[in-house]
Amino acid sequence: MADLEFKITRNSNPLPAAERQQILDAPVFGANLTDHQVVCVWEKDKGWVSAEVLPYGPIMMDPSAAVLHYGQEIFEGIKAYRHQDGSIWTFRPEANAKRLQLSAHRMALPEVPVELFVESLKQLIAVDGAWVPEPVNEKTLYIRPFEIAAENFLGVRAAHRAEYRVIASPVGPYFTGGLKPVSIWIALDSSRAGKHGTGEAKTGGNYAASLLAQNEGYENGCSQVMFLDAESSTYIEELGGMNLFFVYKDGHVATPSLDGTILRGITRDSVCTLIRDRGINLEERKITLDEVRAGINSGEIVEVFACGTAAVITPIGQFKSREETIGAADSDAGELTASLRAELTGIQYGTVADRHNWLVKLAD
């Protein structure tokens, strides 16, 4: 790995600057990709054999490629932030690298070394830095590193060839309603993660399993789905792609503990730190839907929010299922929710002191 040098092939036909600027003026999440991609190849018995920056383009794939049949796929989500002086930064990339390794281990894919992961972000930004929007309106460049089983073989076993790729897409705010609380659909008929399953891995299959419930949520005016534990449907786990926090009237905060079925959100971990920094009591423990229902109805729970890289911190106004409605859709974002959000985005955009050294510079 130490001698794995990136080979760079520039896109000879990049999007003209004026068209790129049009996209950066009003980016739509995931709709437009930058001019380049990173492609690294791994082979069994050889390890990581190549690392390249290539023009963005389709993957030529054999129909028998393992990923298309048995779902050996994992991904990450991380952002590049432009600061006022024009420099480009990212947030806790080593944490994403380690989580990609955790996901790789669970899904029997090769681990991308932490240095290769961080270097891949730098390499992409070196050629596509102009795609990182100006720091207004919460605009960022969303980076999507992912790994797939790329062996052409229908036998059922861990693939002997894998690819690690990085693509990127400029984004604005994830939910367009500003800090307006969203409604969450409670999945009563589907689970996303079972004991010893893949809930801790950031793998496409977990998302595929969540989409039926998400459709149900959309039909009922909800933007996201909350999943309960698969065994007893009693404990709150998380949303399809975000972790949850509950703020109590007496000032303490609670979030579901990481018991193996919940994705280890890096935003969750950062928010836990920011909460503890403020001297607020934070409980990581099991939380039942019954407790949340009673707490919201009695006023014991005063704020609920979800967090993840894409949407940062999003206030939740109400929970709905086919059986009940908890809370009110027209509530305002809570005070702690708003202030944690301002602090976290301030650190990311370089306007609030980065006292935990979370930022890593990608380009000057």
Where on the chain is the footprint of ligand PLP (CB under 6 A)? 77, 202, 238, 241-243, 263, 265-268, 308-309
Nearer to ligand PLP, 93 or 241 (CB): 241
Q: Residue 20 or residue 341: which is nearer to ligand PLP going by CB?
A: 341
Minimum Å gap between C-beta 284 and ligand PLP is: 15
Say how far residue 197 (Cα) sits from the centre of its chain. Answer: 19
Nearest distance in Å: CB 319, ligand PLP: 17
Cα gap 337→91, rounded to integer Å? 20
CB of 143 to ligand PLP, least distance (A): 12
State the minimum distance, in angstroms, from the CB of residue 198 to ligand PLP.
Answer: 10
Could you give the CA distance from residue 277 to residue 163 in angstroms, rounded to a whole number? 40
Question: Distance between CA atoms of 19 and 298, rounded to whole angstroms?
Answer: 53
**Closest CB to ligand PLP among 241 and 334?**
241
Cα dist. 251→144, 179, 256, 327 in Å? 36, 21, 17, 19
48's tokens = 């990581």
Q: Please return the burial class of 175, using the count of CB atoms within 10 Å of its CB with bins 0-12, 13-18 and 19+.
A: middle
CB of 263 to ligand PLP, least distance (A): 3
Is 15 or 166 the residue whose CB approaches ligand PLP more closely? 166
Output the smallest distance, CB 352 to ligand PLP, in A. 18
Q: Which is nearer to ligand PLP, 70 or 75 (CB)?
A: 75
Pairing of strands 78-82, 182-186: unpaired
Both structure tokens of 145: 């590193």
- The closest alpha carbon to 212, from 200, 195, 231, 225, belongs to 225
Helix orientation angle between 93-106 and 266-277, rounded to the nearest 10 degrees: 130
For ligand PLP, the closer of residues 223 and 243 by Cβ is: 243
